Amino acid sequence: MKFTAVPAIVLLSALAACAPKSTPAPGADATAKPVATVNGKPLPAAEFTFFSQTVAGKPPGELTPEQRSQLLDTLVRAEVVAQQAEKDGLDKQGDAPQSMAMMRLQVLERAAMANYLKDRKPTDAELKAEYDAQVAAMPKTQYKARHILVKTKEEADAIIAELKKGAKFEKLAADKSLDNSRTNGGDLGWFGPNNMVKPFADAVASLKKGETTSAPVQTEFGWHVIRLDDTRPITPPAFDAAKDKIEQIVEAKKFKAYEDGLLAAAKVDKTP
């Protein structure tokens, strides 16, 4: 594992995207001796531990001496560049102030969420209730359909007329459709209603197996002629398989309720 070959900015960007949601790893002692001093500014051991945990996936104590040295060099390099950028006033130019402000909001929101939820883990009853609600809200049917996509309603009307005269749907799709599915005769495979834009999904749901739309269906992509080939029921995942995802949903709802309370109590003046 080497770090010096990767630009510091690339590794540091991981701090924003993948920062741990929990407290710093064991060994991140804020009172420990700094790991380095850069132009008189100390780099705290806790900061290096956090950086190591984020970039390498483990604290410095679990790295080899060579790996620790490489990682520290990367952090020092980034600090040198950041100090120079501040000297040049770059922290007050362009998008930098806004980016730093947004980063502050993201970091503090993650910290607030972790702090609020640490003693509010979802109970089994809460998880089961949310699972039941999610299953109830799920679509009950998947569809297998074909379509022909064209630019105008007139083109779609002409295709429907040809189909009524006995033309093969697959042949017309291959010859006229603008969609990549034309290589498979317009076949879209199996999909749920949530996987399609609403006008398309509604049209498919109104068809019987083997039936083609009697009128063109307009979406943001153009005009569609659709044939429903088959349907099958959707089997929801088992509770145990979905439990981790359900836990995230319950926690998100709890934190949103907390946020709503803070917002309701806050004094907010919006500028028209």
CATH value at residue 223 = 3.10.50.40
Quick check: is 119 in a domain?
no
Residue 49 lies in a domain: yes
Instruction: Note whether residue 187 is domain-resident.
Output: yes
- From first to last of its 272 residues, the chain has per-residue pLDDT tens of 554 444 555 445 544 454 444 444 444 455 679 999 999 999 999 999 999 999 999 999 999 999 999 999 999 999 999 999 999 999 999 999 999 999 999 999 999 999 999 999 999 999 999 999 999 999 999 999 999 999 999 999 999 999 999 999 999 999 999 999 999 999 999 999 999 999 999 999 999 999 999 999 999 999 999 999 999 999 999 999 999 999 999 999 999 999 999 999 999 999 98
Which residues form the domain of 199? 139-233
The tally of domains found in the chain comes to: 2
Identify whether residues 151 and 102 lie together within a single domain.
no
Q: Where a domain ends, among 59, 80, 114?
A: 114
Query: Does any domain span residue 259?
Result: no
Of 16, 79, 72, 77, nearest in space to 49 by CA: 72
Residue 263 lies in a domain: no
Q: 181 lies in a domain?
A: yes
Contact, 55 vs 47, CB < 8 A? Answer: no
pLDDT of res. 13: 52
